[in-house]
């Protein structure tokens, strides 16, 4: 049986989603000759970054073509379905406030009542 020092370092699940494939992002610390560095990796597509923060691989770090924060955030999927069973998902901006049903028609999206906020 191999000793603990012969085994690979354990990966830790993060609360982030890969910007390449929307898979789960993992992280671990790796010993190098220069000390320990953080390694982040997608569990699905195997995209890996060394010595970079998690947001360089996850959707939280996405920027527009002009360098502005795109407003996407990794978050728990509060309502998993058979079509979208993932534990984590990507949403736009901060969690939105619940709009009372009676006022939805007057709000709409871009002032258009047929495009209601959910």
What is the Cα–Cα distance from 61 to 49, expressed in whole angstroms?
Answer: 14
Model confidence band, residue 117 (pLDDT cutoffs 50, 70, 90): very low
Give the 3-state secondary structure percentages of the chain, helix then strand then coil, rounded to 5.
15, 35, 50
Query: Is the pLDDT assigned to residue 77 strictly greater than 60?
Result: yes
pLDDT at 17: 94
C-beta separation of 77 from 69 below 8 A: no
What is the Cα–Cα distance from 30 to 61, expressed in whole angstroms?
Answer: 23
How much is the average pLDDT of 23-42? 92
Q: What is the mean pLDDT of the chain?
A: 78
What tens digit of pLDDT does each residue of 41-55 get? 999 999 999 999 998
């Amino acid at each position: 049986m191999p000793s603990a020092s012969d085994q690979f370092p354990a990966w830790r699940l993060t609360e982030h989603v890969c910007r390449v494939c929307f898979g789960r992002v993992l992280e671990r610390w790796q010993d190098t000759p220069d000390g320990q560095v953080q390694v982040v990796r997608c569990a699905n597509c195997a995209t890996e970054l060394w010595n970079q923060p998690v947001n360089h691989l996850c959707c939280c770090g996405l920027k527009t073509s002009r360098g502005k924060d795109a407003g996407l955030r990794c978050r728990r999927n509060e309502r998993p379905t058979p079509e979208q069973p993932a534990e984590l998902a990507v949403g736009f901006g901060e969690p939105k406030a619940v709009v009372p049903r009676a006022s939805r028609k007057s709000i709409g999206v871009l002032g258009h009542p047929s495009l209601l906020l959910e």
